[in-house]
């Protein structure tokens, strides 16, 4: 049988494209996925203790794009959930991103009052102000000191652990984004729509791909079958440098190691995630019951250990945000351009771009509407 489309990868990008092509264009799709499961990095499963966990780190869905939320709502019900994160700073648990509540968690009430008042006076209420802007331009010494304190104790060490690089070694846009949120809203995200699939991500993917025009081959890499499977056109959501056999060199990534720990405790920590900018070699711990709302006795949490990515040994998680690597990616993009119309590249690995899940879905929906439908 000749398939209209071969799609490489069953994460959000590949699965949404498969669903659109099968249901809207009535064409046939074969997805090949090298892992033994659907869902890419969003895959979840019940562990030996009956706790629903995320194999590749905590995934919280959040978006301002109603069309993305509504599109996925055809395949899942949502459990409303607002993520909260605390960071251990100077021995105290402080809400992050840093906001007005964080001042009261860290400082004596009268000093916190003073800082809060100054922040509101200088910048207004409910606004996110980049820390570097406060540090470099504030007229008040108190605010400058505050910005320096947060930069050093909350941001700097966490960044070094996360990336193995100092903030100044990353693309300036990364540091420029770190804000103080002049607000009492201590949710980690402020998006209009936030939640998790009620029955988990894996079920959402099963529903997305439950179409007679879609076949899925798990445990199968593209390289194994590329010569054998007849197809008309290809969508590739894997690493773009791998597709071109590393012609221009390797695109660097940061990898992670996750340690899953089960405890008989009802609750391990007060909120979904606790960050450790300064202590330990892991960056953060996440307790899944907060995210999923499960009420089982006992609980499972993970510790995240960032590590260098080594091809063939561990997984590529985050493209490293440095301008020189973006420039290297552009060489691969130029190669991809030569295959335009026959091979489509999309997703966090093929675009060498960190996407939140909603952005991966939006990218797939847009590719479908703008290029695939139009190309006939």
Q: Which residues of the shown chain bind ligand FAD in the complex (CB under 6 A)?
A: 8-14, 32-35, 40-42, 56-61, 221-223, 237-238, 256, 317-318, 347-349, 355-358, 360
Looking at the Cβ atoms of 63 and 129, the one nearer to ligand FAD is 63
Contacts of 136 (CB under 8 A, 6+ apart): none
Looking at the Cβ atoms of 207 and 223, the one nearer to ligand FAD is 223
Please give the Cα distance from 56 to 11 (Å, whole number): 12
Looking at the Cβ atoms of 33 and 287, the one nearer to ligand FAD is 33
CB of residue 30 to ligand FAD, shortest distance in Å: 11
**Beta pairing class for 343-345 and 318-319:** unpaired
Ramachandran quadrant class, 194 (left: phi over 0; alpha: psi -120 to 50; beta: rest): beta
3-state helix, strand, coil in the chain (%, to 5): 35, 25, 40
CB of residue 308 to ligand FAD, shortest distance in Å: 15
Looking at the Cβ atoms of 200 and 347, the one nearer to ligand FAD is 347
CB 72 within 8 A of CB 46: no
Looking at the Cβ atoms of 58 and 95, the one nearer to ligand FAD is 58
Please give the Cα distance from 321 to 198 (Å, whole number): 33
Looking at the Cβ atoms of 105 and 339, the one nearer to ligand FAD is 339
CB 335 within 8 A of CB 342: no
Structure tokens at 272: 């979904």
CB of residue 360 to ligand FAD, shortest distance in Å: 4
CB of residue 109 to ligand FAD, shortest distance in Å: 33
CB of residue 324 to ligand FAD, shortest distance in Å: 22
- Sheet containing 78-80: order of strands: 61-63, 193-197, 78-80
CB of residue 53 to ligand FAD, shortest distance in Å: 13
**Beta pairing class for 253-263 and 273-275:** unpaired
Looking at the Cβ atoms of 302 and 328, the one nearer to ligand FAD is 302
CB atoms within 10 A of CB 55: 19
CB 253 within 8 A of CB 318: yes
CB of residue 92 to ligand FAD, shortest distance in Å: 25
């Amino acid at each position: 049988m000749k398939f209209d489309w071969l799609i490489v990868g069953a994460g959000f990008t590949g699965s949404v494209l498969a669903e659109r092509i099968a249901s809207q264009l009535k064409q046939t799709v074969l997805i090949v996925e090298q892992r033994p499961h659907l869902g890419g990095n969003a895959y979840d499963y019940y562990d030996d203790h009956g706790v629903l966990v995320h194999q590749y780190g905590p995934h919280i869905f959040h978006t301002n794009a109603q069309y993305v939320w509504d599109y996925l709502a055809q395949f899942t019900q949502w459990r409303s959930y607002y993520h909260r994160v605390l960071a251990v700073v100077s021995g105290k648990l402080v809400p992050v991103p840093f906001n007005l509540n964080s001042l009261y968690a860290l400082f004596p009430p009268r000093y916190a009052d003073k800082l809060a008042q100054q922040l509101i006076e200088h910048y207004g209420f409910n606004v996110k102000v980049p820390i570097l802007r406060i540090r470099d331009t504030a007229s008040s010494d108190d605010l400058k000191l505050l910005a320096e304190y947060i930069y050093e104790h909350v941001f700097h060490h966490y960044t070094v652990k996360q990336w193995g690089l100092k903030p100044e070694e990353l693309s300036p846009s990364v540091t420029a984004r770190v804000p103080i949120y002049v607000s009492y809203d201590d949710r980690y995200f402020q998006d209009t729509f936030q939640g998790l699939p009620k029955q988990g991500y894996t079920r959402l993917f099963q529903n997305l791909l439950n179409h007679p025009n879609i076949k899925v081959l798990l445990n199968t890499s593209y390289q194994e079958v590329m010569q054998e499977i007849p197809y008309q056109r290809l969508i590739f959501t894997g690493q773009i440098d791998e597709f071109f056999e590393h012609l221009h060199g390797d695109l660097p990534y940061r990898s992670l190691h996750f340690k899953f720990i089960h405890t008989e405790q009802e609750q391990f920590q007060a909120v979904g995630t606790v960050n450790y900018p300064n202590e330990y070699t892991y960056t953060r711990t996440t307790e899944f019951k907060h995210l999923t709302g499960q009420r089982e006795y006992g609980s499972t949490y993970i510790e995240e250990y960032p590590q260098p990515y080594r091809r063939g040994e561990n997984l590529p998680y985050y493209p490293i945000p440095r301008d020189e690597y973006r420039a290297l990616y552009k060489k691969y993009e130029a190669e991809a351009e030569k295959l335009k119309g026959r091979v489509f590249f999309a997703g966090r690995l093929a675009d060498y771009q960190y996407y939140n899940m909603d952005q991966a879905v939006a990218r797939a929906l847009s590719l479908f509407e703008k290029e695939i439908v139009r190309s006939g």
